[in-house]
Structures are given as structure tokens and as C-alpha cells.
Structure 1
């Protein structure tokens, strides 16, 4: 790179393009690392500065936000919202058909709090405004807020409020349409196109930091907020309405209780006082909206049309949401339920809960369970997490909202006994008629044996009786862990087979008269279940037309449910316009319905090909997962490449000695996917697809061309591959190449770095990461060669002219980061030696930097080289002293020259992480 060239995106893009040409002559030449090396030499020579890097990264951040906004706009096309809304008001074959279509949710939308709060509130705002057709993306502050549970909850509630307004607009449009088409019957319409829910503050799986009274506080705050919104809406319709006073009083009472439960209630007196005020009777205690809804509907029968439409739309909102911002999902782990139920079974401590004996005991328990009363003291003294959840649900139903059902999600649920245990506790506390127990299928074992699990569960008499009482059977399928441990494509195919098995089991056991509620917890990133090809693909990928047809042909009403995960998912509801665009897009696509007579997709007819294809991809993915090479590469930097994006910890703790042996199971699914993005290659999507076609390219390609599901798979793979770079994966390995550092000051170049490079070269002689990344890149390259042969036989359905620009943008970002990492490494080994303290040596600190545990390393360096230190003149002593003769040793220069640059460079690295994630479309 010429020293005369300014550091701009244009010059670096040009340089990268020129460097790529050299790969024709030297296939092993790495353009990404070479550009990083050139940048590093200029940085260490003082020709460019970290401030220059910062300016360029700011420009690239803005570009990445523009890309994010463009993608969001393409998905929901806000400019078409009005036309879609008008299109809903078409005759679907008469009033009865119209009413039937709109009286059941097309989708249950769940606002989850997975750790994907990547963008700052300011960045979220500019992306949302740009996607909605507003202002262009402009540079914004990048200071990240602390992401607490309260922060996540507030963001969820804001998104849900916009979603409610958007649904109300759809309902209003439907009612107006019906009034025009069927003037004598339209007031019979009770539209329910969407229901909303959240588990923010109620998800106990994998975390112990949520107190039971925190969940109660959240539920009360949601009730207060919703009552206020209902009252505001009613006041706008009729400022003197008779119901307003009661609603405002109930809101004020609920707000007071919410504030009390939001405090520290560990003191028994404080808890008693708060509980007693919540539970006491009074005319300001509102526990059911049923009489309110009835009164509004009654008034709508006798007033003029516009007011009647408004009253019925408000009643519809109440019917959907109840006394909260939406429904709530509690979540526990199967192990927590097992621990709780063992004490209820004689000899349960040593009992195999999968045994027939355990099942018989559980059947007797459920059958003989007599409801027990409980109060908030019961919650305070209960030590079992699972039982505490049931007690909390019971208190919410008794003292917050008596009507709205509650979901109980059970993670790692792999045997019917677990569900029966949940049913026992629901019955024990008298809430079985309001709680939907929903087993989660996500692990490889659960997906592999899930069909047999459902067959066995739905044969249980107690479960059949419970399902009839609830009117639905609920299950949850998870794409995050499934995508990590099985691979995203095999996981999606396994999940749809499981969904088909549910339809079969319901039909076989005479349960076709209850609904099937299937919750697909997928995320926005292509690495965890959301297809990037468009909203039709996004809805069909986790719940395919084939799976939907299985329910339709069995005569089972399907209630699909999908998560919008954290900050990434909330973007779809960040403004009123985006929320309307999102919900109107979903409503138009009607994911709850399908044509039962549609011809069979060849992918499901030619199972001799499709099953072999699936198994081969799965085998390749599992080989990677079990490979020491893959595990070491993914964990090479720990989580140091990632910003903190959620209140739940992303990994279990480990000490330095364990760092090199970190298991992938120590890193949660979303961070795992995010690391793959940052390293440059979404292995859990792409790997294995090429190898799976080897030896049968023509037949596999023909199947994928002719099959809608096959083409959908290839759209996902192409979208992911378009952003992937094996050269980048290899470039990260070069950071740990001892030979590179030993050769860098060769023949007198960069003599000022000679000692630092020598120290790095010596330190890295035994480091395994260079070889690890080389082996991984080699394996990915072989598979990619086979994939491109398949690409040649399956046309690209969605060519994207901006893809090459996106690849170059990511390439420049990666080169900048690699240069910054080299800067950090050089600075770290140049820090003067310091004494060991608290069992932490200088070598430990270097290892912290090389694994990007930078904050820990900086803390140790600052301990060794403090910015200030006491001197004798600081003390007001009457007695004089001649010792020490001089002040303490000055460390300002060490901080300025070594410690502060490491901190600044790492901050820039994390900004690059955000930009790369934006180019992929989400975090993880």
C-alpha cells in the first residue's frame, strides 16, 4: 500500500480488489491478511493513527447500518402497507368465511429476550427511520448502555406497544370492511388476527438472577401500562365513558403494587405489606376484563358505525391481550422439574423418571392431586425453582389477571414424565385450566426421539383430558441449540418432521378437535433459524407448507407462533410504521393456513435422495462439532470478539488454564453463531451441503431445482455463502504464526519492532491456533469446492447486485480488525516486566490479551502500573522525614504508550464487530 494513499473506504476497497488478483498467481496468497499487514506497518510506523482507524470505522458503521435498514425495508416493504391493509378487506366467500379467517390468530408473536441487543438505542432509531422510508442513516453515538433485565423489559414493552397499535389498525380496517360488505352482520365480528406474548423477566432457564418477586413486579407493571393504554383509547372514543374511572383507579392501584414488588422484598415485613396490599379486596381491584368487553360490545350494538368500530376494536384488543401487554411465558428446565417431583414420589431420589414405574407413579400423582391454596408466603419459603414458578403463576392468576392463559415452557424436555410432573404441579395449585405446558424440542436427542415422545405423551389419559380442557396442545421447537449441535439445515428438516409427527399423534389419539400451537423459537440471524430471503421464506423456514398441510389434512386448527428475539427482533416493531408493515405482511401471507390439496413437494416424495442429503449434511456438521479443530477455532478468542448483548451470561466461567480446552457447550448458541460471523464463515449453515451432493450431483441438483423446499434451502445457503470468506478464517490463524512474527522485521525492516516481534515469535512457537485455523480453512475449502459444483447446477434465484460490495465491506472491516489485533499484541509484549500478584503473572496477562480477555488484562496492567501513588507530602505529619528522598516511580508513559492503546484498539474492534453483524443482518 502506498504511504501516500489516504485511509478511506475507497482506497482500501481498491487495494483489496488488487490484492485478490494475486490469488490467481499464488493460490495460498491471503488478500485479507496482506491488507491487514500493510495497515499494521503503517500504524506502527506512525503514518496512520488509531484516530484514523476510528474515523474510517465510523464511516463503515454507517454503511453497515444502511445495509441493515435496506434489508429490513426489503423484508416488510413499508410502502406497500396501505395496499396490504386494503387487501384484507376482500370477500373471502361470505361473512361466515370472513369471520372464521380473522377470528383466530394468524401468528402468535413472542417478544423474547435472547442476548441480541447489539445496536444502541440511537442506532436502532436511525435504522428504523431509514427502513420506514424516513431520514437517511447518519452517524450516531456508539456508547453502549448497560443491558440489564430492566432494559430488556422496557425495550420489549415498547415493541409490544407498537405491535398492539398495528394490530388495532388491522382490526379497525377489518371491521370497516365488514360494515361495508355485511351491514346487517358486521357487529358479530370478533377479530383476533394476532396475539402477543413475552418471556422477558419470566425465563428461568439457565439463569438464577431473577427473583420470583421480580417476575411479579414485571407482570404488575405490564398490567398498569396496559390499563393506561386501554383507558387512553377509551377516553379518545368517549371522554365521559362510565368505565374510565374504574380503569384509572385500577391502573393507579396496580402501579403502586408494581413499585412495591420492584423493590427488595427479602425482608419479611416488607413482603407481607406488599402482598397484603396487592391481595386485599376493593373497588379498584380489577381481575377480569370479561365484563368490560361485554359492556363495550353491548354499546357497539346500538351506536353509530364509527364509534361502534372503535369500541369493537378496543374490545378485540382486550380479548387478545387481557390485563397485560400480552400473554406471558414462564420457562424452566426439565431438570428443575425432575428435582421438584422426586420428593413427591416414594423412593424418587433414585428413581429413573423414564421408567415405567415412574410413569405409573406420576399417573397416580396427577390423578390424585387435590388443589392446595397458597399465598405469597408460600412463594417466599419455597426453595424449588420449578415449584416456585407454578406458585407465581397461581398468584398472578389469582391477583393480577384471572383470565389470560400462561405458558409453561420446559427446556430439554425429552420424556413424557416431565410433562406429567408439570401437570401435577398445575393441578396441585389449581391452575391446570389456565396453563399451557409446552415441551421444548431442541437438542439432538429431543429431535431424534421427539416423535416417539409425542406418541407416548398423547396416549396418556391424563394428558388427553388436560388437552381437551385447554383446547390446545402446545409444543416448542428451538433453532438456536439445534442449529449449533445439528446444523441449521438438518435442524430445520428435523423440526418439520417433528411437527408432522405431532399432527399424526393428535390424529391417532382422537385429538383433532383441539388446536396445535407450535412455537418456533428462531431468531433474526441466518445462523439461528430466520431465513434471509424474504418474509415468506422467514415464515416458511421454521414451519414449512409441508408441515402445515399435515395439520390441515388432519382437520386440526394450527396456531403458529414465532419469536422476535431481543434487539434484533424488536427492530421490526421499532416504529408504528414498521410494526404495521410487519404485521400486515404476516397477515397477507397467512401462515396459519395452507392449501391441503397442494401437490406434494418432490423433496418429500423423493426421500431416497432428500433423506440421504439431510443425513450427509448432518454428519458433516456433527463431525465439525466433535472436532478438536473446530472447537479450538471457535473458542480461540473466547467471547472477546463480541459485544455484550444481553443480561444473561453468554458463557460459563473458566480459568486461564481451562481457556484452551473450552468446550463449545460452555458458549451459548447465539454467541456461538455470532463468533462464526466474526471469523468470516457461518459453518453451521454452509458446511456439508457441497459434500452431501458428492457422487450424485445431477440427481441432487435436479431435486433442489424442482422442489420449493429445496430451492428455499439453496437460497439460504447462497445468502450465507455470499458473505462468507475462507481466506478470512485462515487470516485469523496467521496472527498466531510464530514464523510471521519472526520474519516481519527481516532484513532491517521495522527495526523498532524487532524485540517485540522476537518476543511474539518465541511466545507463539507452542501456540496451536495457527495450525487449527489452517486445518479448519483447508476442510472448509474442500467442502466449498463441492458446493460450487452444486451451485453451477442450481441457478441463483435471487441474484443481488450489492453482494460484492457487501463482501468488500466485510473484507475491509476484517483487515482493519486484524491490524488492530496485531497492534494490541505488539503493545502487550512491549509492556515492561512486572511482579506477579494474586497468582497472575505477566505471561497470564499476555494470554489474556491473546484470547481477548482484554478488560481483565488491562485491570492487571493498571494494578502493576498505577496512574497515581501516595507521596509523603500527601500526609499532614508533625514529624519530619528524609525518606524516601524522591517521589514514586512515574508510570504515565507506560499507560500512554502501551495500556491505553490496547484499550482503544479493543474498543475499535468491538465497533467492527457491530458493523460485521449488521452486514449479516443480525447478531448471531
Structure 2
């Protein structure tokens, strides 16, 4: 078998055998067929790479096709027309209400989701940006992967935001043009602001210590310089001689110089002092507010002809939206960091329970009596507390970079109102209370379960109410990543939805209907980072459902929805001008900030006797997995070795070799956790528990899920995930560690040349537990899947996808190829001769590195043990003669060629397979 066609045909034949032998595993059998061919010389790694490249190409084309389908139409003319059509409904006041408040805040975040290389991203995006047939032009195989540093992530975020800004300018310009046609006497009083953009790349300190405070200042200065350059370009298109251009150009030059200052290493006090003094000194080009420029542009527009007025108002609208940066920024800290900081002020002996009434009373008094303190860069440099350092950094940004744009302070794992009061105290202490939106993140199971009481308590605080009215909004963040990992994707979505409803109730009950509700939904894994695979409408409604929206509309509360576009997946939506405009147009036409308040109640929320039991049962099943040693061991069987490095933030905490065996799931972050599930073949966090929840009540639950729009949305997610899942693949991974398999493989002399290697593997793996682990997990998943299929049979399939079976075969072929490569790696690892030159690490250690796919570590040890380059006596100019060494000292070249290099190549190919599988799932984590 040397072609994909032969591979998938063979897999189809093998699947037929499961009718005769239910335990037969076609994926593993295909990998054995391939492994025999590879080890016997019938095929080579070149042949395997060729098949991987073809399947890789299919996966890239699949991603491009899916992206275009979700955003279509993608032509700029069609989307311009859609924007103009959206302006025609209602009177001028309706137009202003629709366009003058952001329909969505889009946050460009970066977690480990940069799966595709820049070349692959460009190829996919370009293919998706037109109506032409998706061709092999989308395929960029084996492109070199860049080092994914924080600066790389920031640059990619800025490129995406730049396209988003251009698309928003088009939408603003077209909406104004349409308004000018419809209401020629008053259109110029409209001030469209349909979207805001933000980013936390470079400012998110939760879970990382590698971002220095001056990195954040440097990033913000670079964003200011870039945005000023873009304002200049925009205004030049309206009038190349406009008098405000000189102001903007001078400010841009100044900002670029200050960016250079803060891109240096400022850990030395002298270097910091020089950079800080230059930035803080008065300077005629130190532009800190765009408000005067916006007023001038708006005033000029009133007396200009229509085309010039539209151009000037579009530039002013961009300035109003973004300020002196590429968008707003989000700092993020962990609640524990805030607790440590506030204890220094109120509880130095660490005896006070911060969740107690006493702590709340102390914080109220502290807030009432606080007097703002001045701060400078020296104070920032010497501060040891992460949380206080963030507030000091924000104060310097507001004072010396952009005095207009507010800054979000996101607080992860926030479960106590006192944490919010502590954040308000520090913002008030440093004089930035009127520019900082403090936002608790609800993501853990505990936070979601008790979040309603949290919000009731927080919003009843008079101090918080006054703060919210000053800011004009109540801001919260709901996260699907950790929630989806520890609660399950469906229970997480339902729990978050209820929490959002509780926020509407708390705001109404506490008289806060005069401020907006800003709800930042960080989307989360689902089957990728896009929140839902069922189309763009589902993508928007999954994190903030129509039911939740209606709660705010009926309470008379203006809603400001905010979502994240994360890393590779999110940035693809803005990778070209066409895709950016299509994305924002779909959002503008779907209008996620509004809904019909009179829509009939969805039965999913009325029949809580069924839906609540469904939620609890799925959540219980997911919790059982998380608490199960079987699930934990299977998920960590290969460490993180199935995954490419896709981000600058580490995917897990460091641990030594012996700790890998007992790695806790909490050591793995949410994105790699869910990515591993896809690579193992079964998205447990999406599918598992739905079938079990239906047990004994199939008809009633099926009826509810069929007649409910929310229920059908849940089913669409489950069907899409289940269509790509394979329990046989999960079981196949366990067979790699089956001692009996290796002992039997050369049985009857079929592969005599592998006898020694198989014997070593068989003996070594007698003590390994992974075969039993995967078998037990597969058995549990099968029982639940049987019940799921029984439920799905009772629910009409709204969107049958006949092309999914070929996709399943392609994924099966990819998995079989990877299992073949893993077997090749195991064989090569045990075939390496005993160590000679370096003996400070055992052979078993190296084998275990390979078995857990810490291949880079294993290769480093093998190359140290078997070096192929040595210092020569000829390198030295000594006078005394020597007859030693008497050999050439290069005997390890063959070991490098026959064992170490193939091991490295096989692992590289397996990572490319991982990319292709992720593409088929629509994932970038």
C-alpha cells in the first residue's frame, strides 16, 4: 500500500470484519499491515510521508471549505450590499440605536492554538476568500514551523486586528452612505460604532511568569505607533493635505522611538530610568488623547460634501472605537495573586478569611478612606506582587500612553466578592478607578455553581454600584475552556447560560438597569476554539444564547456581548480583507446584542423536569471521567507528545521523568487536554454522558431535544463530534503497549528480522498498564455510545453530511499511519545498542521517554551517547607527537543513520498527522 486510495480501501475492507468479530480492530490491523511493509522494506518512510502529505492536503482543503461555508458569501461586493440592506429597516432613530453601540466586542486572544504555519494559514485563508473551487493551492505540506514566541503571537494578533479595522471602516462607511441616502438632512448626526476590538496578548499574566512588566508597556507603545500609522493612511485617503496629518505624523514618530526604548532589556535601573524619563517627560508630540481630533473631524464633516464627510466621519469613528492603540487591552491575573496583594494591607498575619463578612467590612472601610497615590516606573520596577504590578502598569499606560481607552482587569478563578473589592481598592489607590473595568471570570465548576450568589452579593454592594455607574457597565467573563474540561462542554454551556441569566436578575433586582451588561465569553474548545461547529450562527449563539439575551432585553438592560477570536482558528477569520469583512458582516446581520423579547419560550427552559435531569446526568458522567484513574492515565499515556507546540504559554507545569506516569490532569491546560482527546480519537468532553443521560427516558428526551431550538443546537454539536469519533482508535493506542502483541508478532517466523526487538519490547511491557487502561476506557465509552446512538436515532438529523464517511476513513487512515510510525519508533528505540560513551542515564529512561513521546529528550540523550563529531588531535598545535587515538573514532555514524535519524523523522511525521487530524476536527489547539 503506497497510496491513500489503497489505504482507505483496505480500511473499508477491514471494517467489514467487525461484523464477524466485534472486537476486531480495523485501525490497528491496518497499522500492523503497514508496519510489516515498512519493517520488511516493501514501503519506506518516503512512501509514508507521501501518503501523509496527500491526507494533509485534504485536511487543509477541508478547513478552507468549512471556513468559507460558515462565512459565505465572502465576496466584498456581496457583503457591502448586505450591510446596506441591514440599514434600511426602521426610522433614523432605529438606525442610530442599531449602529451607535457595539454589536460585539471582539477580543483577539492567544493561547496555544497556532497549529498552522504562516504559510499554511495564508494558503487556507486565500482559498477560502473567493468563490472559486477549493484546489490544491490550499495545500502547504511540511512547512517549517516558526518558534511561537510571545512576540510572534502579538504580531499575528495585530495583523488580524488590522484587517478587522479595515473591514469595520468599510461597514461604517457603507452604513453612513446609506444613511445619507435615506435621511439627507440628519444623517451626519449619527456616530456609528458597530464593533470594538481588544487583545490580551502580552498582558495576560494568568498561568505564566515569562511576561515582564516592561514587555507589556513595550507592546502597548508599539500598538500606539502602529495605530497612528494606520490613522495617517486612512486620513490621507480622504485628504492627502489634511492639516491634522502633521499632528498624527509627529505623534507616530515619537511613539515609534518610545517603542524602541521599551523593547530593550530594562532590568538594569540605569536603562529603565533613561527610558522612563524620556517617556514621562513633557513633549509636544506626546499625544495622549484623540478627543480633540475627533471633535475637529466631526465638526469639519458637517460642512463638507457627502463623500468627504463620510470619509472624515469614518476616520473619527475608528478613533472613537480604538483610541491610541490597535484596540482596547485586557490584563489578566489570578484571584490568588490579588488575595496575596490585599493581605499585605488588611491581613499581614494571614488569619482573616477573605470570604467572610469581616473581610468585606474591612474592605468597604478601606475603599471609603483610600487616598490615591502617585506612582512611577521605579515603583513599578521594584514591585514584587504580580497583581499590584499590573495595576501600576495600567496606571503608567493611562498616564503616558493613552489617556482615553479604558483597560479591562480580568480576574481568573474569582469566587468571592471580596476579590472584586480588592481590585477596586488597588485601582482607586493608583488613581485609575474611572478607567478600569474589573471583570470576574467564572469558569471553574465551583464558580459556575455558586456564581449566582456571588453576583447577588457583589451587585448589592453600594460601593460596587457606584463604581458600575461611573463606568457605565457591569463586566463579567465566562470561560468555556476549563469549564468544558472539568464539567464537560454541554453542561458548561448550560451552566454558563444560567449564570448569565442570574446576572440579568441581579442587575434588575439591584437597580442597575441604567448600566450595560458586558459579558465576555472566551468561547473555549468545543471541537476547536470556535465554540460550535454548526455554522456561524451557532458560533455566536453558543456562548450567549437567545434565552440569555432575552433576560437582559426584558429587564431593560443594554447588552454588550464580547467574544474571543483565539489564535490560529480565530485569526483565520481575519486573515484576508475578504474574510474579515465577511466575518464582521455575518456578526452585524446576526446582531448578537439583541433578540426578540416576545419570542415564545423555548421548551428546553420550560420542561426543566427533563432538561435539568439531562444536565445533571451529563455533568455527573463527565465528573466520573475526571475522577477516574483510568481516564487520567489514558489521557496522559503519551504526555503531550501527540501535540505540536502551538503557543508561547507552556501547556503544563514542568515535571521530571518519573512524574509523567502519574501526571495529574490539572497539570495539563484545557486546550491541550481537549486536543489530546481528539488525537486519541474520541472527544470525551463533548460526547460522553449524553447517551447515559437518556437511559430510561429516551422518548421524552428525544422529543424535547427535537422541538427545542436550544436542544437541537446541543444535538448538532454532539452529532458533529460523534461523526468524527472512533472508539476503535482509542483502543488501538492501548495495543501499542500490549506485551502479548509484541511477543506474538514474529510468531511462526513471519518477521524473523524483528525477533530481538519484539522480544525486548514484549519483556519490557509486561509491567506496563496502558493496554488495560485503554481497554477499560474504550469499554466505558462503548456502553455510553450505544445509548447515545439509540437517542440520536429518535431525533431527526437536520443537516445530514454524506461526506463525513470519507472524512472518517481519512482520519482512520491517518491514525493507522501514526500507529505505524509509533511502532517504528518503538522498534528503533529498543534496537539501539547499549550505551557506551555516556552512561549517566539508563536505557530504560530513554525507552520511557520514547513511549511517552518525549522524543526530543530521548534524541538528545541518544546523540549524547552516540556522537558523530569529535574533536581531533589535528585541531591542536602541540609539539609533542602522539600515536593515540589509533582509530578514526567515527563508529557511531551508522547508529545515527539506522536508528536515531529514523526515530526523529518518524516523530516529525507523526506530528504532521496530528495537524491533519486537528484540521478535520476544525481545531487549532
Matched residues in 1 for 2:524 and 2:301: separation? 40
What is the number of residues matched between the two proteins? 919
Secondary structure of the equivalent of 1:78? coil
Matched residues in 1 for 2:882 and 2:756: separation? 42
Deviations 1:835-873 (A, max 9, x none): 595752110000000000000000000111001223444
**C-alpha contact 1:845 1:860 (8 A) present in aligned 2:** yes
Matched residues in 1 for 2:885 and 2:469: separation? 85
Secondary structure of the equivalent of 1:570? helix
1:413-432 alignment to 2 at 5 Å? 413-432=414-433
Matched residues in 1 for 2:200 and 2:349: separation? 31
1:650-669 alignment to 2 at 5 Å? 650-669=651-670
1:43-122 alignment to 2 at 5 Å? 43-79=38-74, 82-89=77-84, 90-122=87-119
Aligned to 2:26: 31
Matched residues in 2 for 1:492 and 1:377: separation? 44
Residue 81 of structure 1 and its aligned partner are, at CA, apart by 5.3
Matched residues in 1 for 2:774 and 2:446: separation? 30
**C-alpha contact 1:525 1:921 (8 A) present in aligned 2:** no
Secondary structure of the equivalent of 2:101? coil
**C-alpha contact 1:222 1:325 (8 A) present in aligned 2:** yes
Aligned to 2:909: 908
Confirm whether residue 127 of structure 1 aligns to residue 124 of structure 2.
Answer: yes
Residue 301 of structure 1 and its aligned partner are, at CA, apart by 0.4
Residue 524 of structure 1 and its aligned partner are, at CA, apart by 6.4
Aligned to 2:328: 327
Aligned to 2:803: 802
Deviations 1:31-80 (A, max 9, x none): 10000000000000011111111111111111100000011011101346
Aligned to 1:750: 751
Deviations 1:267-320 (A, max 9, x none): 111111111111111221110000000000001000110010010011001000
Deviations 1:586-622 (A, max 9, x none): 1100000001111000000000000000000000000
Aligned to 2:35: 40
Residue 657 of structure 1 and its aligned partner are, at CA, apart by 1.1
Residue 543 of structure 1 and its aligned partner are, at CA, apart by 0.4
Aligned to 1:700: 701
**C-alpha contact 2:525 2:674 (8 A) present in aligned 1:** no
Residue 528 of structure 1 and its aligned partner are, at CA, apart by 5.4
Deviations 1:356-402 (A, max 9, x none): 11111111111111111111111111111100100111111111111
Confirm whether residue 614 of structure 1 aligns to residue 615 of structure 2.
Answer: yes
Confirm whether residue 402 of structure 1 aligns to residue 436 of structure 2.
Answer: no
Change (3 A) 1:524 1:313: farther
**C-alpha contact 2:200 2:329 (8 A) present in aligned 1:** yes
Secondary structure of the equivalent of 2:346? coil
Secondary structure of the equivalent of 2:433? coil
Aligned to 2:517: 516
Aligned to 2:483: 482
Deviations 1:708-747 (A, max 9, x none): 0000000000000000000000000000000000000000
Residue 352 of structure 1 and its aligned partner are, at CA, apart by 1.1
Deviations 1:727-770 (A, max 9, x none): 00000000000000000000011100001000000000010000
Secondary structure of the equivalent of 2:661? helix
Deviations 1:873-915 (A, max 9, x none): 4433322223343333610111111000000000000000100
**C-alpha contact 2:519 2:561 (8 A) present in aligned 1:** yes
Q: Which has the higher mean CA deviation after the structures are superposed, 636-645 or 864-873?
A: 864-873
Matched residues in 2 for 1:475 and 1:339: separation? 22
Residue 525 of structure 1 and its aligned partner are, at CA, apart by 5.3
Aligned to 1:9: 4
Aligned to 1:202: 203
Matched residues in 2 for 1:457 and 1:743: separation? 65
Matched residues in 2 for 1:222 and 1:874: separation? 51
CA RMSD of aligned residues (A): 1.2
Matched residues in 1 for 2:294 and 2:284: separation? 18
**C-alpha contact 1:525 1:923 (8 A) present in aligned 2:** no
Deviations 1:395-420 (A, max 9, x none): 11111111101000000000001000
Deviations 1:438-474 (A, max 9, x none): 0000000000000000000001111011001000000
Matched residues in 1 for 2:472 and 2:582: separation? 31
Residue 87 of structure 1 and its aligned partner are, at CA, apart by 3.6
**C-alpha contact 1:323 1:400 (8 A) present in aligned 2:** yes
**C-alpha contact 1:175 1:309 (8 A) present in aligned 2:** yes
Change (3 A) 1:482 1:688: same
Deviations 1:772-808 (A, max 9, x none): 0000000000100000000110011111121111101
Deviations 1:177-235 (A, max 9, x none): 00000000000010011000000000000001011011000000000000010011111
Gaps of 5+ in 1: none
Residue 83 of structure 1 and its aligned partner are, at CA, apart by 3.8
Aligned to 2:865: 864
Aligned to 1:226: 227
TM-score by length of 1: 0.98
Deviations 1:644-686 (A, max 9, x none): 0000000111111111100000100000011001000000000
Q: Which has the higher mean CA deviation after the structures are superposed, 623-632 or 524-533?
A: 524-533
**C-alpha contact 2:530 2:570 (8 A) present in aligned 1:** no
Q: Which has the higher mean CA deviation after the structures are superposed, 177-186 or 86-95?
A: 86-95
TM-score by length of 2: 0.98
Residue 585 of structure 1 and its aligned partner are, at CA, apart by 0.4
Change (3 A) 1:271 1:871: closer
Change (3 A) 1:179 1:728: same
Aligned to 1:136: 135
Aligned to 1:167: 168
Matched residues in 1 for 2:405 and 2:38: separation? 61
Secondary structure of the equivalent of 1:886? coil
